[in-house]
A and B are shown apart, each in its own frame.
Chain A
Amino acid sequence: MAYKKRLDGRKNNELREMEAKSGVIPNADGSAYLRVGNTVVYVAVYGPRPAPRFLADPSKGILRFHYNMMPFSGYGSRIRPGHKRRSQEIGMVMAGALEPVIDLSQYPNTIVDVFVELPQTDAGTRCAAISASSIALADAGIPMTDMVASVAVGQVDGTVVADLTYNEEAYDAPVSDIPVAVIHGSKQVSLLQMDGEIKKEDLIAALNMAIEVTDEIHALQVKALTERFEVEQ
């Protein structure tokens, strides 16, 4: 097998260095900052607030995600701001990843808006966005039954790895990139997508690896939410 040592020297199931904070945007009802290697995400939550008429649901509140890469956040030329099909789809799958743990039944005719902004990116942006959104939603006091942590797993030239970088996604061999979101308590999967190619056995091994490593992300999420309230003795 050709891919024995990872490009950045990590173990196969080793995540990139991470850093997380909550309450970073004073205007927002809840917010979070998360850095995973060179991918950085800010998330702000506004709401529940009155929903626009055409969206309002009298039986429950609505959860809406807006994903955006800043114009200077890519390895390449400037990204023109504005509406994109990719951003729209990511917003949709993020909602799917988090809705199972969100309960807005007590907030009819309202909307909870989650805004995601990325100042710099190195793969795994939707996963970082989901993990950070879970922190920001909890920070906003939105009723939640659990936390959701997300990571990309996959195979690079036959080796199953976690938390792929851009260079690994672009490796000159068969590669697959599988973003997964895991609900902490039940270990159920609420986001599953894939780019590339993989054998069934490797897919199951990769998913099990995702379940294992998202525990580390969950611990970081809890730390980000609690350390803001720690008082010096």
Chain B
Amino acid sequence: MIRNVQAVKRLASEGKRLDGRELTQYRGPISIQTNVSQTAEGSARVQIGDTVVMAGVKLSLEKPYNDTPDEGGIMINVELLPLSSPDYDPGPPGIKAVELARVTDRAIREAKAIDFKKMCIRSGELAWFVSVDILTINDAGNLFDAICLASLVALNQTKLRPYDENTGVVDYKGTTEHGLPIIKQPLSVTVYKINGHLMVDPTRDEEEALDARLTVAADEEGIISALQKGGDTPVTVDEVSQMVELALEKIGELRSIMEKQ
């Protein structure tokens, strides 16, 4: 696919963007839909501009890990569906999908967003394990932020299933009113540096033109729970400071949008 990389770079040096947005402006409207899969225990569809992702949560009862016998767990998986872009081919997840999944995993895990101890039913024997699968429906850029937002909304929507206390068999057709023990709400914003200028919410053209990017995840108190620098160009501490400041401001905006829906 042909990308407008040169035009993006030239405009960036003047502080402008190809689609006419401000550098720190998200595409709109940002929309969040819940319960988009009735077979999932929790689900969400997030749209930022033309970018659409779907997240679904599945629960299972399993034996806890030996080193954390009184805790449940979480697994985050991202699939870049070939349905969502001509850039993606069928097959096992490539490095881009792996990075998206791992950064989102760290955002949630390191924030200690979920109280895993409350998911334990019998120490060393039975605990809830959460699988979050995030799939792309249309990739028009900025998957990092869309995926983290969709994951968090799907987790917030999740309701436990009834289960047999003795056998540990889950009744996937039943429903309960109990949610997951979520105690923090980490969201991520990725700041791009192109031709010396910082911007958020890149399109695919802008992603291809990047010098550096920094994904910052933080909870509602501004405590940072994940960082991931990408791109081939190094950044100064001063630039990191500016990027984190911009990210924290934008995380606040995403959070208020999430809370309104």
Known: A46-B86, A70-B135. A117 touches B36 (CB 8 A): no
A28 touches B57 (CB 8 A): no
The residue from A38, A82, A119, A121 contacting B56, defined by CB atoms under 8 A apart: A119
Residues of B within 8 A of A119 (CB): 36-37, 43, 54, 56
Known: A113-B82, A119-B56, A120-B37. A71 touches B138 (CB 8 A): no
Q: A176 CA to B243 CA in the complex, in Å?
A: 61
B173 pairs with A75, CB closer than 8 A: yes
Question: Any chain A CB within 8 A of the CB of B150?
Answer: no
In the assembled complex, A185 has its CB within 8 A of some CB on chain B:
no
Determine how close the nearest CB of chain B comes to the CB of A7; give it in whole angstroms.
14
Mask of A65-95 contacts with B, CB within 8 angstroms, 1/0: 0101011111111100110000000000000
Digitize B36-65: 1 where CB-to-A-CB distance is under 8 Å, 0 elsewhere: 111111010000001010101110100000
Given contacts A25-B137, A42-B137, contact A76 B172 (CB under 8 A): yes
Given A70-B37, A71-B56, are A115 and B83 neighbors across the interface (CB < 8 Å)?
Answer: yes
Q: Chain A: interface residue count, which band?
A: 20 to 34
The 8 Å CB contact of B38, one of A38, A77, A78, is A38
B-facing residues in A26-76 (Cβ within 8 Å) = 26-28, 38, 40, 42-44, 46, 49, 66, 68, 70-76
- Judging by beta carbons under 8 Å apart, are A26 and B82 in contact? no
Q: How far is the CA of A106 from the CA of B84 in the complex (A)?
A: 26
Q: Which residue of B lies closest to A72 (CB)?
A: B56
Q: Using CB atoms, name the residue of chain A closest to B50.
A: A26
Contact A74 B83 (CB under 8 A): no
Query: A77 to B84, Cβ gap below 8 A?
Result: no
Contact B135–A117 (Cβ < 8 Å): yes
User: Is B131 a contact of A78 with CB atoms below 8 Å?
Assistant: yes
Cross-chain contact of B138 among A27, A49, A73, A116 (Cβ < 8 A):
A27
Chain B, Cβ-Cβ closest to A117: B83
Q: Which of B84, B172, B173 contacts A27 (CB 8 A)?
A: B84
* A78 engages B133 (CB within 8 Å): yes
A72 touches B82 (CB 8 A): no
Hey, which chain B residues are within 8 Å of A40, CB to CB?
37
Q: Is the pair A72, B60 in contact by a Cβ cutoff of 8 Å? A: no
B160 within 8 A of A: no
In the complex, what residues of A have CB within 8 A of residue B198's CB? none
CB distance from B135 to the nearest CB of A (A): 6
Residues of A within 8 A of B135 (CB): 70, 117
| Nearest B-chain residue to A28, judged by Cβ | B83
Return B40 CB to nearest CB of chain A, in Å: 4
Decide if B39 touches A115 in the complex (CB within 8 Å). no
Which one, A49, A66, A73, A116, contacts B39 given CB within 8 A? Answer: A73
Residues 180-199 of chain A, each 1 if its beta carbon lies under 8 Å from chain B, else 0: 00000000000000000000
A224 to chain B, nearest CB (A): 17
B86 touching A49, Cβ below 8 Å: yes
Closest residue on chain A to residue B173 by CB atoms: A75
Residue from B43, B79, B138, B172 having most chain A Cβ neighbours under 10 A:
B138
How many whole Å from A40's CB to the nearest CB in chain B? 8
Docked-complex contact A77 and B37, CB < 8 angstroms: no
Look across to chain A and name the residue whose beta carbon is closest to the beta carbon of B81.
Answer: A117
Give chain B nearest CB distance to A88 CB in angstroms: 11
- B170 contact from A46, A49, A77, Cβ within 8 A: A77
Please, what's the 1-or-0 string for B74-87, where 1 marks a CB less than 8 Å from any CB in chain A? Answer: 00010101111110
Chain A residue at minimal CB-CB distance from B90:
A66
Contact of A25 among B37, B38, B79, B138 (CB under 8 A): B138
Given contacts A70-B37, A72-B58, A119-B36, 8 further A-B contacts (CB under 8 A): A27-B84, A28-B83, A42-B83, A42-B137, A44-B84, A75-B172, A115-B82, A119-B37
In the complex, 15 of the A-B residue pairs with CB atoms within 8 angstroms, ordered by the A residue number, are A25-B83, A25-B137, A26-B138, A27-B84, A28-B138, A70-B37, A70-B56, A72-B57, A72-B58, A73-B37, A75-B39, A75-B173, A78-B133, A116-B83, A117-B81
**Residues of chain A at the chain B interface (Cβ within 8 Å):** 25-28, 38, 40, 42-44, 46, 49, 66, 68, 70-78, 81-82, 113, 115-117, 119-121
